[in-house]
Amino acid sequence: RLWSWIEEVRHKVADDYSPQTLDACILDWRTRANTRRTWGVWRGDEVGGAISFEPWATADVGVTHALFRRDFWGRETTETALGMVYEQLFGSGVRKILVFPFRENNAIMALTKRMGFQTEGTLRQQTIRDGKPVDVIVLGFLKEDFYRCRCSHSPPAASSPASSETASPPEPKPAVQRQP
C-alpha cells in the first residue's frame, strides 16, 4: 500500500538514493525494522497512512516520516494523526523530533510550521534528486514546543447545521495504532 501511495508524490519526497522498486522498498523496511517505530492511520476500517520514527544519534532524538493516501491528506486527518503520534513519542521520553523536507516542498513546510516545528537550518545540496543536487531543510520540534502549541490551540467551535437533513456527518477522526 505504501508503495502505491508514494508513486504520486515521489518527486516531492524521495531522492535518487531512496528505494526505486517495491522489492527495494520492502528490503529497506525490513532492514530498519529493529530501530523504526511505525504507526498505521485509519479512518473507520480503512487504512490510509503510516507514520514512522527512527532514532537519530541518540534514542531521545529522532526523525519522523509520514505517508498518506491522497484522500487522507488534510488537517483533519494528517495533523490529527501526527499530533497523536508526537504525543506518544514525547510521552515516551523523546525530547526532539526532526523532519528533513526538500526546500521546495511547500506543503510539508506549511504543515510542520502549523504544528510548531522550527527551522534549524539548510543543508545545501544535501542529496541528489533527478540527477541534480537539492537543498534539504532541517526542521525541529522540541517536546516543550509541542506541549506549548497544543495548549495554545483551542479546539474548533462546534457548528450546528441549519437542518439535520442537509448536514453531512463529520468525518471520523483518525485512529492511530502502533505497528509491530
- Region of 157 please: left (phi>0), alpha (psi -120 to 50) or beta: beta
Distance of CA 159 to the CA centre of its chain: 28
Nearest-angstrom CA–CA distance, 162 and 166: 8
Instruction: State pLDDT tens for residues 12-50.
Output: 778 878 888 888 888 887 888 888 999 988 888 888 888
Average pLDDT over residues 83-109: 94
Nearest-angstrom CA–CA distance, 87 and 107: 22
Q: Looking at residue 166, what is its pLDDT?
A: 27
Nearest-angstrom CA–CA distance, 34 and 54: 10
Integer distance in angstroms from the first to the last C-alpha of the chain? 17
